[in-house]
Amino acid sequence: MKYRFFCVAFLVLFSVACEKKPDAAKVQTAATTESHPDSEWKAHPLLSYEVVRELPHDSSAFTQGLLLSHGDWIESTGGYGASSIRRVAKTTGRVLMKKNLAANLFGEGVVELNGKLFQLTWMSQQGFIYDAKTLQQLGEFRYQGEGWGMTTDGKSLIMSDGSDRLRYLDPGTLRVTQEVVVRFNGKPVEMLNELEFVEGEIFANIWHADQIVRINPATGTVVGVIDLSGIDAKEKRRDPEHVLNGIAYDPVAQELFVTGKCWPKIYQIRLVPKTISR
């Protein structure tokens, strides 16, 4: 219940702040390799969505990480005895390749960089490195604390651990090079979960919330919120833990996708300004 209250309160506070500071979204962000002009949605701190299309998703997959790789999904799933990393056909949802984790490991976020996949686990402080095309395991790495979400800015690996902090890791040594504290109006934003780097910003799911926060990767400042309330049929969620989690972005086509743990669909969405009712 407290997370539901948090996300509602956060959305209200953010909408008020946006009215007071209409230029809040105009911040400097880290450089990216994308050459297209800024999307129109970046000028609006408070966003909603339109569903463009629905794609099939394995409703038994407890989604912890999602990304696009060579036209397919790469998905990391969680659950003791059910964790895996898999390559999945984008349009059909068919599992093309799959590697199961040991039964004592709980899979978490995954990211691709330089032809390799890096996958976190929850509380075992153990990560795995795979070949992105074959899923052959290439190595392992260790880290302190919990592992939640993962993304990249093209240079560093960026991970969340459920706190208000994002850690930047050198992809060669897997050592932490810096930490960014995520704040909105000076207050911590915790429970940061699945991450995706989108046009110079970090999009982050908040555990048990139907909102995604947009984070300036250089400062940790929350520059926007995406309200995804109602995107799935909540009455069909079989478990309270089947929450929104999973963000993937195609920077070439500029297509954004979201899903949730054990959801039967992956949604391609278009971001639109959110109207504030009074």
Q: Where are the domains of the chain?
A: 2-273
Which one, of 2, 10, 27, lies nearest residue 211 by Cα?
10
pLDDT of residue 176: 98
235 sits in which H/E element: none
Closest CA to 203 of 71, 72, 47: 47
Q: In whole angstroms, what is the distance from residue 274 CA to residue 21 CA?
A: 16
Contacts of 244 (CB under 8 A, 6+ apart): 205, 209, 210, 212, 228, 231, 232, 258, 259, 260
What type of residue is 140? Answer: E
- Cβ proximity of 178 and 155 under 8 Å: no
> Pairing mode, if any, of strands 165-169 and 157-160?
antiparallel
Gyration radius of the chain's alpha carbons: 17
d(C-alpha 226, C-alpha 81), whole Å = 33
User: What is the pTM assigned to this prediction?
Assistant: 0.89
| CATH number belonging to domain 2-273 | 2.40.128.630
Residues 6+ apart with CB under 8 A from 21: none
What separation in angstroms does the CA of 94 have from each of 56, 98, 110, 200, 219?
9, 11, 19, 31, 39
Per-residue pLDDT of the chain (278 residues; tens, 9 = 90+): 344 434 544 554 555 455 444 333 333 333 334 445 568 999 999 999 999 999 999 999 999 999 999 999 999 999 999 999 999 999 999 999 999 999 999 999 999 999 999 999 999 999 999 999 999 999 999 999 999 999 999 999 999 999 999 999 999 999 999 999 999 999 999 999 999 999 999 999 999 999 999 999 999 999 999 999 999 977 778 899 999 999 999 999 999 999 999 999 999 999 999 887 65
| Cα–Cα distance measured from residue 150 to residue 157, given in angstroms and rounded to the nearest whole number | 7
Say if CB 186 and CB 140 are below 8 A apart.
no
Instruction: Give the pLDDT score at 33.
Output: 41
CA distance 116 to 111: 8
